[in-house]
Chain A
Amino acid sequence: AQSVTQLGSHVSVSEGALVLLRCNYSSSVPPYLFWYVQYPNQGLQLLLKYTTGATLVKGINGFEAEFKKSETSFHLTKPSAHMSDAAEYFCAVSDWRDAGNKLTFGGGTRVLVKP
């Protein structure tokens, strides 16, 4: 079975400051890893994903994440927060053997950006 833990259900950052959202996973097989963002009253939008290859993955809106197998982590960062980054962020994992790519999500981290 797979599981995802997101440390911190709420994060507050100042505009222009570093955004760091933490994600740790548990998986018995090499995972595929994802970050999704959810704006109020909307569905989930894919920010970035790791499947194989380079462990530093760049996504949309200036976000990036690094897969660290030894730490079972996939933390999301953005060097400079913008007001439009206020949203909820979800880390998710899937099993590469799964043809359907079923996702297991963490509980989410809500980001507040202060002016």
Chain B
Amino acid sequence: DAGVTQSPTHLIKTRGQQVTLRCSPKSGHDTVSWYQQALGQGPQFIFQYYEEEERQRGNFPDRFSGHQFPNYSSELNVNALLLGDSALYLCASSPTRDTQYFGPGTRLTVL
């Protein structure tokens, strides 16, 4: 059984650009959450998707948006990139009301 997968592994962007990160959940998991982990800090919740809708959102600006597809996979989009958006972006999947399992993350560097 494949775990949570994320792509790409790394990417480098410049300020003002837009980026899309992708996540495939574990088989049978219908909920996908995204977290941002800045260097030396704990992960911070960005938002969560369930049944193709955003169910919860953390304290992140509207530049951060997402999508969930019918197969439960998800995308995280960030517009107008800032230097401060450089971080490890983690995707986690879970069945409803159950433990979250994390992917390996996408390392985003904004120059």
A interface list, Cβ under 8 A from B: 4, 34, 36, 41-46, 49, 90, 92, 98-108
Contact = CB atoms under 8 A, between A and B. Distances in A.
B66 interface: no
Interface string B39-68: 011111100101000011010000000000
Contacts of A36: 102
Contacts of B90: 43-44
Contacts of A102: 33, 45, 48, 56, 58
A100 B33 contact: yes
Given A100-B31, A100-B33, A49 B99 contact: yes
B94 A43 contact: no
Interface string B57-88: 01000000000000000000000000000000
Nearest to A36: B102
